[in-house]
C-alpha cells in the first residue's frame, strides 16, 4: 500500500491537522504504522511487546471521540512507542529484565497518563538495555535491536528500541529515559532528534528507577518540532514526584523559529578531543552552520569534564545498587528459586534474574557505598558532580548554550563493546555531564560518517532553559537537510 | 569488686498520623493483614515517596517536648538490608542529620532527681511484620511505612529501675504532646537496651550487649537487672563479655544470646535521591513549640505549688494526661482538692487498674466525682457510704446525689435519732463498755462500728463518736459516784 508509505514521511503537525478535519482517521494512521512494523520489525526488533489489538481499540475510541465533537489532544491519533521501563497499564513492563518477566504494572506512569490525555496511541513497549543500564540495547534479556541504518550496528542505548522504532518509521515518536545519554546517544546513532529535558521536567512516577537523581524522561522524534510538541504535552509538576518541576512558562513548540542571532555558544575544548574523525568533521561543520545563523561560537575550558565519566559511574552505580535491591521475587516479578533458606532465595533469584551488566553495576555500586569506600568513592564523586555543575554555571554566566558532538563515534558494531564495559561507558562521555548537572540537552542530526552512519550534534542549556535548547536545535535543523535522509530498509 | 551498670536505650515510637510516612495508606492497628498497603509501600517498581508533612510535624513536636535542638537543614538517608519485612530492601531513615539532637528527660528514682540525656531523635519508616506459622512465614505490610521516631539516649542510665523511670516519663511526655498513643503492647512503643557493666570508678565503658524483645516497661527493668547481674557474674568468674544481641525471655526472665552475625552489618547509608534535602522554617518550629501542651513535669510542679499535693501524689496524678485532666476538671467542679486527689489515686485508679480500663472509657464524669466528695464534706453521706456507692457511680455514670437519695443513704445527722441507737449499743456491748471505762480507749472504735452497723452506715461517724463518748463518760461519772 503505497499510500501508507507516504503517511510515514509526514510530520506530526500535518498529520494532526488531517486527523482533526477527519480527512485521515486514527485507524488508518495506525494501520500504516502496524503495516510498517510488520514489514521491518523482524530486522530491527525495536519492540519487546506490541499490542496491535489494544492500539486498534484505542484508535477506534479516538475516532468516536472526534465524531462526538469533543476537543482533541495535541497528539491525537499519532502512534507512539514507550520504552519498556515506563508503566503502561494493561501492557507488561519488563525493564528489559527476566526479573520482571510477566509483570503487569498496576497503574500508568504519569508520563503515560499525559500521553493518553493528549490522545496518543501507544502501539507497544520499546526494547532497552536491562534496567536502562547500557549504551547499545544489547543487555536486554529479550532481544537485540539493530540500527536501521546498518544491520550490524547497535542502535545505541539504553533507549535503543525507542530510537530504532522512530528511525525505522515504525512510529512517529517515542518516549525514552536518559540517565547518562540514553536518549541522546541512540538518537545520534540512528539519525533522529533526542531531547532530554531539565531533570524533573517530566515526572518519574511509574518509571523504573535506575539512578534516581539522573533519570530523566524525554522524547525521541524525527524533528525538533515534533519533539517540542510531545514535550509540551508531557512536562510539568506532579505531586507524586516531589523532585518534578513546574511547566515551562509557555508552550515551547509555538516559540520555535525564534531568531538565534547573537546567541552565544560555548564549545568545551575537552569535547573536541579523542573523537572519531568523521564526528569531529561533522561537529565543526555544524558549528559553522550555527555561526552562519548568527550565533557566536567560542571554545571554553571546563576543567572538570574530564572527571565526569568517573563521577557518573560511581554515583549511578551506587544509586542503582540501592534502587534494584527491591527485586527479590517475593512480591512481584519472577522468583527464580524455591529455596527454603532466605539468603539462598535472595541469592538465587538475583543471580538468575539479573543479567551480567546489571549484576556488575549492582556489585560495583554496593562496593562504592560500603563502609570504608563511601568517603573516598561516593562522597568524592558527589564533590566532582558539584564541580561540574559549577563549570556549567560559570559558562552559562557568559554563554547561552554549550555545544559539541553527542557521542565520540558513530554507531559501533554489535557485540563489539559487550565484553568491554569500559569502552561501552566511554560512549556516555559527552552526554553524562548534562545528567550530572541536571541540564536540558538535545541531540540533533548533523550528518553522516563516511560509512553512512548518522552523527549527532549536542546542544546543552542552563537549568530550565529547555525552550532555548529546542529553539536553537530547531534553527539548526531548519538550516540543514540531514534529518530528511531515510535509512534504506 | 563492686560494679556499676551502664545502660543506653533505643526507643522506637510510632507517630499518631492518619497515614503512612510516604504514601496515603492508613496506619490503623489491627486491620486485616495487607489491607493498608499500596504499590508505594510494597515497593513496586516506579513508585516514589511523598513525604507526609504531618509526620514531620509530630516528630518535631516530640523533639521539642524532649528538649532537643532541631536540625533545620535535614534530609533522609537510605539504610540498606535484605529482609522480607522491608520491601525496598532499604529503610528510609535519617543518618547524620537527625531532626533532634541533645535533648534530655528528667527522672526521679527513690527521691533522687536525675537527667537522662537524649543524643538524637530521628524520623524513619517502620518495617512490616513477620508472622511465623507452621506452614511458613507470612508478612503483613500494614505496618510497613508507618512513621516512627527513634530516640537514642546517652549511656546515662545506671539501673533497670532508672530505665523504667525514664520510659515511664518518656511515655507520659509523648502522650501529653499527642505525638503517639505509646502502647507498648501494640508495639507503638518499642525499646532495645544496650547494657554493660564496669568497676565503680572506671570511666571507660565495658563491652555492651544489646537486649531486644522486651514488651513492657516492667520487662525492660527486669531484663536490664538480669543482664547486668549476668555480666557481673561472668566478670567475677574471670570471663569476658561477648558483644552480641540477646533476646529477653519474659517467661523464664533471662536473656538469651541470639545467633552471632558472622560480619558486622554495613547499612551503606546514603542520601535518598528521591527525597530532596529540606530546611525546616524557624516559624514552623516556633508554631509547633507554642502548640505544645503543659508537659508532665510542669504539671507536677503546678500540682505541688497550686494544690499543695505531695510530689508523690502529683507524680501519680500526672502519669497519664487524661487522669490529670479528669482530676483538674473534678477540682474545677468544687470540693476539697486533697480529698479529690485521694479519691483519684485510691478509688479511681484502683478501679481502672482492676478493670484494665482507661479513664476515657468510664461513664463517670469529673462532676460526679466532685459531687461525691462534696456529699461527704457537707455531711450528707459518710465516707463509707461513698465508697459503697462508688463502684456504681464509676461503672454506670449514675449521679451520686440522686443515687444517695434513691437508696435512702442520707446520713443520720439528728442527735436525737442517734442517741437511741447509742443507748442500745451500749447495753448490748457491756464488755466493750467495761474495757473503755478501764482505760482501753480502743474499745470506743468497736462501739462506733456497732453504731454504724445498726444504722447501716448512715450514722454520721463523728456524731456517733461524740454521742458514745458523752454517754460513756456519763457512766464513768455515775459508776464513780
Ligand atoms: Zn501505601
Classified as helix, coil or strand, A159 is: coil
Same domain, B137 and B263: yes
Same domain, B380 and B431: no
Q: How many domains does chain B have?
A: 3
Q: DSSP secondary-structure letter at B258?
A: P
B388: preceding bond cis by omega (within 30 degrees): no
Q: And the C-alpha cell for A28?
A: 488508518
Same domain, B281 and B364: no
Same domain, B237 and B357: no
Angle between helices B461-480 and B430-437 (to 10 degrees): 70
Distances (CA, A) of A409 to A185, A278, A422, A423, B374: 10, 8, 15, 11, 96
Mapped to the 3 state alphabet, what secondary structure does B226-251 carry? HHHHHHHHHHHCCCCCCCCEEEEECC
Residue A1, pLDDT above cutoff 50: no
Contact B39, B236 (CB under 8 A): no
B79 touches chain A (CB under 8 A): no
List, in sequence order, the alpha helices (H) in A10-51: 12-21, 26-44
Closest CA to B448 of B380, B382, B389: B382
Q: And the C-alpha cell for A23?
A: 480527512
CA angle A269, A274, A279 (to 5 degrees): 90
pTM: predicted TM-score of the whole model, two decimal places: 0.90
CA distance A57 to chain B (A): 27
Ligand 1 centre and the CA of B23: distance in Å?
A: 5
Same domain, B181 and B231: yes
Same domain, B283 and B315: no
CATH of the domain at B468: 1.10.10.410
Contact A308, A433 (CB under 8 A): yes
Contact A225, A194 (CB under 8 A): no
What are the residue ranges spanned by the domains of chain A? 2-261+440-484
Residues of chain B contacting residue A328, judged by C-beta atoms under 8 Å apart: 82, 84, 89
CA angle B181, B95, B49 (to 5 degrees): 70
In the annotation, is A146 catalytic? no
Q: Determine, for residues B42 and A319 on separate chains, whether the beta-carbon distance falls below 8 Å.
A: no
Strand B69-70 to strand A47-50: parallel, antiparallel, or no bridges (unpaired)?
unpaired
* From A136, A140, A158, A162, the catalytic residue: A158
Same domain, B346 and B447: no
Q: Determine, for residues B46 and A378 on separate chains, whether the beta-carbon distance falls below 8 Å.
A: no
CA–CA gap between residue B351 and residue B77 (Å, rounded): 47
Domain end position, chosen among B407, B433, B457: B407
Domain end position, chosen among B357, B389, B407: B407
Mutate to test the interface with A, among B24, B45, B89, B271 (most CBs of A within 10 A): B45
Q: Determine, for residues B273 and A87 on separate chains, whether the beta-carbon distance falls below 8 Å.
A: no
Same domain, B301 and B220: no
Closest CA to A312 of A384, A393, A390, A387: A384
What is the pLDDT, as a whole number, of residue B481? 38
Hey, which CATH number is domain A2-261+440-484, 3.30.70.1450, 3.40.190.10, 3.90.1300.10, 3.30.230.10?
3.90.1300.10
Contact B211, B192 (CB under 8 A): yes
- Residues in CB range of A2: below 8 A, 6 or more apart: none
Same domain, B399 and B420: no
Contact A283, A272 (CB under 8 A): yes
Nearest CA in chain B to A131: B45
Q: Determine, for residues A331 and B43 on separate chains, whether the beta-carbon distance falls below 8 Å.
A: yes
CA–CA gap between residue B250 and residue A148 (Å, rounded): 71
Domain end position, chosen among B287, B306, B329: B287
Same domain, B9 and B26: yes
Residues of chain A contacting residue B275, judged by C-beta atoms under 8 Å apart: 242
Mutate to test the interface with B, among A93, A327, A328, A350 (most CBs of B within 10 A): A328
CA–CA gap between residue B100 and residue B117 (Å, rounded): 12
Ligand 1 centre and the CA of B143: distance in Å?
A: 10
Over residues A89-117, the mean pLDDT reads 97
CA B18 to chain centroid, in Å, comes to 23
Strand B209-214 to strand B245-249: parallel, antiparallel, or no bridges (unpaired)?
parallel
Q: And the C-alpha cell for B386?
A: 461513698
B238 touches chain A (CB under 8 A): no
String of DSSP letters for B79-116 = EE---TT-TTSEEEE-SSS-SEEEEEEEEEETTEEEEE
Phi, psi of A127 (to 5 degrees): -65, 155
Burial class (CB in 10 A: 0-12, 13-18, 19+), B216: middle
Residues of chain B contacting residue A322, judged by C-beta atoms under 8 Å apart: 78, 80, 90, 268, 270
Ligand 1 centre and the CA of B453: distance in Å?
A: 66
Strand A454-461 to strand A401-405: parallel, antiparallel, or no bridges (unpaired)?
antiparallel
- Protein residues within 5 Å, CB atom, of ion ligand 1: B 23, 25, 38, 40-41
User: In terms of residue numbers, what domain contains B207?
Assistant: 3-287
Pick from A240, A322, A374: CB nearest B90: A322
Burial annotation B188-201 (CB, 10 A radius, 16+ → b, else e) = bbbbbbbbbbbeee
Tens-of-pLDDT digits for all 481 residues of chain B?
Answer: 799 999 999 999 999 999 999 999 999 988 999 999 999 999 999 999 999 999 999 999 999 999 999 999 999 999 999 999 999 999 999 999 999 999 999 999 998 999 999 999 999 999 999 999 998 899 999 999 999 999 999 999 999 999 999 999 999 999 999 999 898 888 899 999 999 999 999 999 999 999 999 999 999 999 999 999 999 999 999 999 999 999 999 999 999 998 665 556 899 999 999 999 999 999 999 999 999 999 999 999 999 999 999 999 999 999 889 999 999 999 999 999 999 999 999 999 999 999 999 899 999 999 999 999 999 888 788 888 889 899 999 999 999 988 888 887 777 777 777 888 888 899 999 898 989 888 888 888 889 888 888 888 888 888 888 888 888 888 887 754 3
Contact A200, A174 (CB under 8 A): no
* From A46, A83, A140, A337, the catalytic residue: A83
CA–CA gap between residue B8 and residue B206 (Å, rounded): 13
Mean pLDDT of chain A: 96
Q: DSSP secondary-structure letter at B466?
A: H
In the annotation, is A182 catalytic? yes
String of DSSP letters for B357-377 = --GGGSS--HHHHHHHHHHHH
Instruction: ipTM value, please give it.
Output: 0.96
Same domain, B275 and B313: no
Q: And the C-alpha cell for B430?
A: 457491756
Nearest CA in chain B to A86: B46
Same domain, B50 and B151: yes
In the annotation, is A158 catalytic? yes
Amino acid at each position: 500500500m503505497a499510500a501508507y508509505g507516504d503517511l510515514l514521511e509526514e510530520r506530526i503537525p500535518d498529520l494532526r491537522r488531517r486527523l482533526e478535519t477527519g480527512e485521515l482517521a486514527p485507524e488508518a494512521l495506525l494501520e500504516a504504522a502496524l503495516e510498517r512494523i510488520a514489514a521491518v520489525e523482524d530486522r530491527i526488533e525495536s519492540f519487546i511487546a506490541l499490542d496491535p489489538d489494544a492500539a486498534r481499540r484505542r484508535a477506534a475510541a479516538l475516532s468516536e471521540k472526534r465524531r462526538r465533537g469533543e476537543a482533541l489532544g495535541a497528539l491525537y491519533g499519532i502512534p507512539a512507542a514507550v520504552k519498556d521501563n515506563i508503566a503502561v497499564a494493561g501492557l507488561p513492563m519488563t525493564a528489559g529484565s527476566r526479573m520482571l518477566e510477566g509483570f503487569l504494572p498496576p497503574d500508568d506512569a504519569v508520563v503515560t497518563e499525559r500521553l493518553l490525555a493528549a490522545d496518543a496511541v501507544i502501539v507497544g513497549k520499546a526494547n532497552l538495555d536491562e534496567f536502562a543500564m547500557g549504551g547499545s540495547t544489547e543487555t536486554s534479556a529479550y532481544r537485540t535491536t539493530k540500527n536501521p541504518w546498518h544491520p550490524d550496528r547497535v542502535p545505541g542505548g539504553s533507549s535503543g528500541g525507542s530510537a530504532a522504532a522512530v528511525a525505522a518509521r515504525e512510529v512517529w515518536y517515542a518516549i525514552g529515559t536518559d540517565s547518562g545519554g540514553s536518549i541522546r546517544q541512540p538518537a545520534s546513532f540512528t539519525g533522529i532528534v533526542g531531547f532530554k529535558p531539565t531533570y524533573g521536567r517530566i515526572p518519574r512516577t511509574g518509571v523504573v528507577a535506575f539512578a534516581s537523581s539522573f533519570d530523566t524522561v524525554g522524547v525521541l522524534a524525527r524533528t525538533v518540532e515534533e519533539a517540542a510538541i510531545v514535550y509540551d504535552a508531557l512536562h510539568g509538576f506532579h505531586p507524586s514526584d516531589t523532585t518534578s518541576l513546574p511547566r515551562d512558562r509557555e508552550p515551547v513548540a509555538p516559540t520555535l523559529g525564534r531568531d538565534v542571532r547573537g546567541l552565544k555558544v560555548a564549545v568545551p575544548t575537552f569535547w573536541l578531543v579523542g573523537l572519531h574523525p568523521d564526528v569531529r568533521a561533522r561537529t565543526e561543520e555544524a558549528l559553522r552552520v550555527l555561526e552562519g545563523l548568527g550565533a557566536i561560537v567560542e571554545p571554553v575550558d571546563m576543567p572538570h569534564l574530564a572527571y565526569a565519566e568517573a563521577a557518573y559511574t560511581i554515583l549511578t552505580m551506587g544509586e542503582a545498587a540501592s534502587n534494584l535491591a527491591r527485586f527479590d521475587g517475593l512480591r512481584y516479578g519472577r522468583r527464580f528459586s524455591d529455596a527454603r533458606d532466605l539468603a539462598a532465595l535472595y541469592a538465587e533469584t538475583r543471580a538468575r534474574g539479573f543479567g551480567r551488566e546489571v549484576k556488575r553495576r549492582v556489585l560495583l555500586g554496593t562496593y562504592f557505598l560500603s563502609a570504608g569506600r563511601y568517603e573516598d568513592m561516593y562522597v568524592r564523586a558527589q564533590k566532582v558532580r558539584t564541580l561540574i555543575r559549577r563549570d556549567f554555571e560559570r559558562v552559562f554566566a557568559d554563554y547561552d548554550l554549550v555545544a559539541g558532538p553527542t557521542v565520540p563515534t558513530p554507531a559501533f558494531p554489535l557485540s563489539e563493546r559487550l565484553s568491554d564495559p569500559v569502552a561501552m561507558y566511554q560512549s556516555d562521555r559527552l552526554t553524562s555531564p548534562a545528567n550530572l548537572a541536571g541540564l536540558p540537552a538535545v541531540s540533533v542530526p548533523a550528518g553522516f560518517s563516511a560509512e553512512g552512519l548518522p552523527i549527532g550534534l549536542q546542544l546543552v542549556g542552563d537549568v530550565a532553559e529547555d525552550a532555548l535548547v529546542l529553539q536553537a536545535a530547531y534553527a539548526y535543523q531548519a538550516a540543514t537537510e540531514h534529518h530528511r535522509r531515510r535509512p534504506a530498509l | 569488686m563492686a560494679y556499676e551498670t551502664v545502660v543506653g536505650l533505643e526507643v522506637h515510637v510510632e507517630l499518631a498520623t492518619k497515614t503512612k510516612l510516604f504514601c496515603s495508606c492508613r496506619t490503623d492497628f489491627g486491620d486485616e493483614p495487607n489491607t493498608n498497603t499500596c504499590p508505594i509501600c510494597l515497593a513496586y517498581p516506579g513508585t516514589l515517596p511523598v513525604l507526609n508533612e504531618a509526620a514531620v510535624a509530630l516528630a518535631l513536636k516530640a523533639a521539642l517536648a524532649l528538649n532537643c535542638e532541631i536540625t533545620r537543614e535535614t534530609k533522609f538517608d537510605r539504610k540498606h538490608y535484605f529482609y522480607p519485612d522491608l520491601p525496598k530492601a532499604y529503610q528510609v531513615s535519617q543518618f547524620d542529620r537527625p531532626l533532634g539532637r541533645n535533648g534530655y528527660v528528667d527522672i526521679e528514682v527513690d527521691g533522687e532527681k536525675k537527667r537522662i540525656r537524649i543524643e538524637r531523635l530521628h524520623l524513619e519508616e517502620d518495617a512490616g511484620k513477620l508472622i511465623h506459622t507452621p506452614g511458613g512465614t507470612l508478612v503483613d505490610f500494614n505496618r510497613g511505612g508507618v512513621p516512627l521516631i527513634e530516640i537514642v539516649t546517652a549511656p546515662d542510665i545506671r539501673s533497670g529501675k532508672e530505665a523504667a523511670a525514664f520510659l515511664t516519663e518518656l511515655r507520659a511526655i509523648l502522650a501529653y504532646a499527642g505525638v503517639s498513643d505509646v502502647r507498648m503492647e501494640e508495639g507503638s512503643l518499642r525499646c532495645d537496651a544496650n547494657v554493660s557493666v564496669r568497676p565503680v570508678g572506671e570511666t571507660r565503658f565495658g563491652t555492651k550487649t544489646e537486649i531486644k524483645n522486651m514488651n513492657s516497661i516492667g520487662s525492660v527493668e527486669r531484663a536490664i537487672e538480669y543482664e547486668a547481674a549476668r555480666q557481673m557474674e561472668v566478670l567475677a568468674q574471670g570471663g569476658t563479655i561477648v558483644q552480641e544481641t540477646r533476646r529477653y525471655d519474659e517467661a523464664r526472665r533471662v536473656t538469651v544470646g541470639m545467633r552471632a552475625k558472622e560480619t558486622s552489618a554495613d547499612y551503606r547509608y546514603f542520601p535518598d535521591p528521591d527525597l530532596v534535602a529540606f530546611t525546616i522554617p524557624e516559624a514552623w518550629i516556633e508554631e509547633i513549640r507554642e502548640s505544645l501542651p503543659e508537659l508532665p513535669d510542669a504539671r507536677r510542679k503546678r500540682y505541688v505549688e497550686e494544690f499543695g499535693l505531695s510530689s508523690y501524689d502529683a507524680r501519680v496524678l500526672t502519669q497519664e494526661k487524661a487522669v490529670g485532666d479528669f482530676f483538674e476538671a473534678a477540682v474545677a467542679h468544687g470540693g476539697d482538692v486533697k480529698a479529690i486527689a485521694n479519691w483519684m489515686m485510691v478509688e479511681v485508679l484502683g478501679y481502672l487498674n482492676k478493670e484494665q480500663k482507661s479513664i476515657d472509657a468510664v461513664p463517670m464524669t469529673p462532676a460526679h466525682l466532685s459531687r461525691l466528695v462534696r456529699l461527704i464534706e457537707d455531711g450528707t453521706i459518710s465516707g463509707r457510704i461513698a465508697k459503697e456507692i462508688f463502684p456504681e457511680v464509676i461503672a454506670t455514670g449514675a449521679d451520686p446525689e440522686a443515687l444517695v437519695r434513691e437508696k435512702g443513704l442520707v446520713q443520720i445527722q439528728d442527735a436525737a435519732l442517734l442517741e437511741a441507737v447509742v443507748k442500745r449499743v451500749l447495753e448490748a456491748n457491756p464488755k466493750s463498755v467495761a474495757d473503755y471505762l478501764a482505760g482501753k480507749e480502743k474499745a470506743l472504735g468497736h462501739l462506733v462500728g456497732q453504731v454504724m452497723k445498726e444504722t447501716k452506715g448512715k450514722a454520721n461517724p463523728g456524731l456517733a463518736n461524740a454521742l458514745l463518748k458523752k454517754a460513756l463518760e456519763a457512766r464513768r461519772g455515775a459508776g464513780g459516784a
